[in-house]
Structures are given as C-alpha cells and as structure tokens.
Amino acid sequence: MSFSLTILGSSSALPKPDRFTTAHVLNAHERFFLIDCGEGTQIQLRRFKIRFGRIHHIFITHLHGDHFFGLPGILSSFNLMGRKNPLHVYGPDKLQDIIMGLYETMGEKLNYEIIFTKVNFKQPELILETNNLSVTSIPLKHKIPTVGYVFREKDKLRKISRDLVTEMGLGVKEIISLKAGHDVIRPDGTCLESEKYTTPAAKPRSYAFISDTRYSELIIPMIKGVDLLYHEATYLDEMKRRAKETGHSTAAEAARVADLAGVRKLLIGHFSARYRDSLPLLREAQDIFPNTVAAEDGLCIDVDNS
C-alpha cells in the first residue's frame, strides 16, 4: 500500500518563481492528507496532478500566512466544484473564526460541512485515528502557538498464502487468528502455529512534519525512529542567532534533531528567500546527518523502512 509524500511548497515567508510556500501532501493508502496550505497550494495540486476530491483532511500548523493563506482559496474551489463530502480541518481555534468570518463577509455559503478540530499547543495529542493510521500533534517553539504532526501506520496483520488457505481448508476465524499472531487448535487437536504458517507483515511506516520552530530537543521522544522527518531549515548555521530570534531553525540544527532522534531520512525545507538554491543548506545538514534531502516543489518521496 502506498505511503508517499509530495512537496507542493518549500519556501518560507515569500513565494518564489520556483518555490511556493509550505504545503505537503501525504498519500497514505490512497487517502490524501494536506499538511499546511500556503498561498498557491491549489495551483500546485493541479500542477502535480493531485485530485482535489481525494483530500478530506487538512492540517494547519499555525497562523502565519505562508502556512495557511492558501486555505480560503482551496475551500472556495471545493465549493465551486460541487463538493458534498465533509472536510476535516485541524489547527488553531482562531482558524475557524477566520475562515467562517471570511465567508460570511463575502456572503458565500458553503455546500459542504467543514469539521474543525482544535489542536493542543501544550502537550502531544492524538487528533485522528483510522483503521490503519494515527495522527498526533506535537507542540513546537515558534513566535506564536505552533504544532507539528506525526503520521504513523498501525501494526499490520501477518501474511498468509492463498494456496495454504485452500490446502488446509482454513476457515475465516482460523485465518484471522493466524494473521493476528495466534496459534490455532483445530477440532482434530492439530496445532497450527502462526509463525510457521504465516510470514511477518511489513513494518509500519511513519512521517513527522516539524514546522516552524526554534531548535528543541523536547520533540525528540515524539519523533523517535520515524522513517521520514521533515524539519524546517530556514537558515544556515552562521545565522543561528537570527534563527532563534525569529523562531526558526538552521540546517545544522535540523540535522542534529534527526541524528538524536535516530530517524531514517531527513527532509529539510522552508528555506529563506535569501538563498538562491538549497545546496549550501543541504551540505550543512549532510555534514551532520548524511541521509538528508532538500525539499523541492514537486519532489515525491516514497516512505520506505525496509
């Protein structure tokens, strides 16, 4: 099953011709989750051929424009396209007032329901749970209340071959028990050992989105061992003082977090417009954490833990 990330925007504060502001789309088992929604997000969705109708959950990290100015536009487009399905939006409590106040001012009535969920800025909180995925919010240290999000697949059932099911004449309850890791005692007293008749399931995959934040080791226990960590890297380390003043991190600081958390791969982004390209920031991060890639608009990463 798919578990991949597409970068829609990788710039901080100011959009550039080749870099839009922050927005990511996570495809988890063909369910699409939009994380932050900077200006121009809906343009990027069309550009990279991601269908609007596949998005039912939008996660906003904080109320700085480069992370949510694209939201009113995409909500309006949903309406114009005749959306009927409810849309879940997660973020600061003031976000609901901003969005609904805007539509009241315009006199526009939405034809679909928006279900707002307020995030917790003081402690981690499980905010979404499906049959195969959980999403937890993580408080960050920015100039205004900000959170990150961690997406984790749930443990999967063990695998059993169809040939074995047919050969052994296994019933539904027996198959379920074996795949869940339980041994089965058949009516004739035969014991079917789960480890013998099934193979291990693929390991659950995980993705952490660490938005605007000062360097903080407090988040490490919550992102420990994730397969892919996105961590903002607005500045080079020579501007560490400026990063702290503005509530941001440097590329070196992002790499240190990745190293301490023991993640598999680091993705850096949210680059300051002062940098013509991301190569200096990438090199700085790779000096500390070699398995680092730089975000580029349109980049698609398959999250793999094998």
Cβ 6 vs Cβ 25: under 8 Å: yes
What is the rounded CA–CA span in Å between residue 269 and residue 296?
Answer: 8
What is the rounded CA–CA span in Å between residue 173 and residue 150?
Answer: 34
Shortest CA distance to 295 belongs to which of 210, 214, 178?
210
Burial 209-248 (b: 16+ CB within 10 A, else e): bbbbbbbeeebbebbeebbbbbbbbbbbbebbeebbebbb
Q: What is the rounded (10 degree) CA torsion for 171, 175, 181, 184?
A: 20
In DSSP terms, which residues pair with 250 in a beta bridge?
235
Cβ 251 vs Cβ 281: under 8 Å: yes
By annotation, the residues acting in catalysis are 66
The alpha carbon of residue 10 and the mean position of all alpha carbons in its chain are separated, in whole angstroms, by 14
On the CB side of 58, CA atoms within 13 Å amount to 29
Q: Which whole-number Å values give the CA distances from 305 to 55, 126, 198, in the listed order?
A: 25, 23, 21
Block residue for tokens 């959170």: 147
In DSSP terms, which residues pair with 137 in a beta bridge?
125, 149
- The enclosing H or E element of 127 equals strand 125-129
